[in-house]
Chains A and B, each alone.
Chain A
Amino acid sequence: MKVAVLKGGRSFEREISLLSGANVEASLRRLGHEVLPLDVDREMVRILRDESPDVAFIAMHGQGGEDGTVQELLEIIGVRYTGSGVNASSRAWDKVVAKAAFTSVGIPTPDSYAFSQAAFRELGAADALGEIETRLGLPLVVKPARGGSALGIRLAHEPADIPAALVAALAYDDRLMMERFVSGRELSVVILGNEDPEALPIVEAIPLGKEFYDFESRYTPGATELRTPADLPASVADEVVHVALDCYRALRCHGFARVDLILDRDDRPWVLELNTIPGLTDTSIAPRAAAAAGMEFDEMIERVLGYADLGG
Chain B
Amino acid sequence: MRNTHSQVTHEDARRYEERFAVRARKIKASAMRDLMALAERPDVISLAGGFPDMELFPADVFQTVMDAVRAEHLTTALQYGPTEGLRELRERIVQIMAHERATATVDQIMITSGGQQGINLSVRSFVDPGEVVIAEGPTYPGAVPPFTTYEADVVHIPMDDDGMIVDELEPALERLRDEGRRVKLIYTIPNFHNPAGVTMSLERRERLIDIAHRHEIMVVEDNPYGQIRFDGEPLPSLYELDEGRGWVVYVSTFSKILAPGLRVGWVAAAPPVLRQMNLGKQSEDLCSGTLNQRFILEYLERYDWRQHVARLNEVYRTRRDALLTALEEEFPASAHWTRPRGGLFVWATLPDYIDTQDLLARAIDRNVAFVPGGAAFLDGQGKSSMRMNYSQLPPTVLTEGVRRIGEVIAETTELFEGLGGVR
Contacts and interface: CB of A to CB of B under 8 A. Distances in A.
Interface of A: 10, 12-16, 23, 26-27, 29-30, 117, 120-121, 126-127, 129, 149-152, 160, 162-164, 166-168, 170-172, 219, 221-222, 282-283, 287-288, 291, 296-298
A222 B28 contact: yes
Interface of B: 6-11, 13-14, 17, 25-26, 28-31, 33-35, 37-38, 41, 353-355, 357-359, 361-362, 412, 415-416, 418-422
A27 B419 contact: no
- By Cβ-Cβ distance, the 5 closest A-B pairs, closest first, are A163-B421, A297-B10, A282-B13, A171-B358, A222-B28
A171 B26 contact: no
B7 to A, nearest CB: 6
A163 B353 contact: yes
A307 to B, nearest CB: 19
Given A164-B421, A167-B415, A296 B355 contact: no
A120 B419 contact: yes
B11 A297 contact: yes
B416 A221 contact: no
A296 B9 contact: yes
Given A149-B31, A282-B17, 9 more contacts: A121-B418, A126-B419, A129-B420, A163-B353, A163-B420, A171-B358, A171-B361, A171-B362, A221-B28
A282 B8 CA distance: 11
A172 B418 CA distance: 18
A12 B17 CA distance: 25
Q: Which of the listed residues A13, A26, A29 has the most CB atoms from chain B within 10 Å of its own CB? A: A26
Nearest to A162: B419
Contacts of A126: 418-420
Nearest to B352: A164
Contacts, number: 108
A23 B358 contact: no
Given A221-B30, A222-B28, A12 B358 contact: no
Contacts of B8: 26
A151 B419 CA distance: 20
A288 B14 CA distance: 9
Given A121-B418, A167-B412, A221-B29, A30 B358 contact: no
A171 B412 contact: yes
B28 A26 contact: no
A110 B415 CA distance: 27
6 contacts: A120-B415, A149-B34, A151-B35, A164-B421, A171-B361, A282-B17
A150 B31 contact: yes
Contacts of A151: 31, 34-35, 357-358, 361
B32 to A, nearest CB: 9
A169 B357 CA distance: 11
Contacts of A288: 14
A283 B14 CA distance: 7
Contacts of A26: 6-9
Candidate in B35, B355, B420 with the most chain A CB atoms within 10 angstroms:
B420
Contacts of B29: 15, 221
A172 B361 contact: yes
Contacts of B6: 26, 29
Contacts of B415: 117, 120-121, 166-167, 170
Given A171-B358, A221-B29, A282-B17, A163 B9 contact: no
Contacts of A291: 11, 14
Given A12-B361, A282-B17, A291-B11, A166 B419 contact: yes
Interface centre among B17, B416, B419, B421 (most CB of A within 10 A): B419
B355 A168 contact: yes
Contact of A152 (B9, B361, B418): B361
A223 B41 CA distance: 30
B35 A222 contact: no
Residue among A10, A30, A150, A163 with most chain B CB within 10 A: A163
Nearest to B413: A167
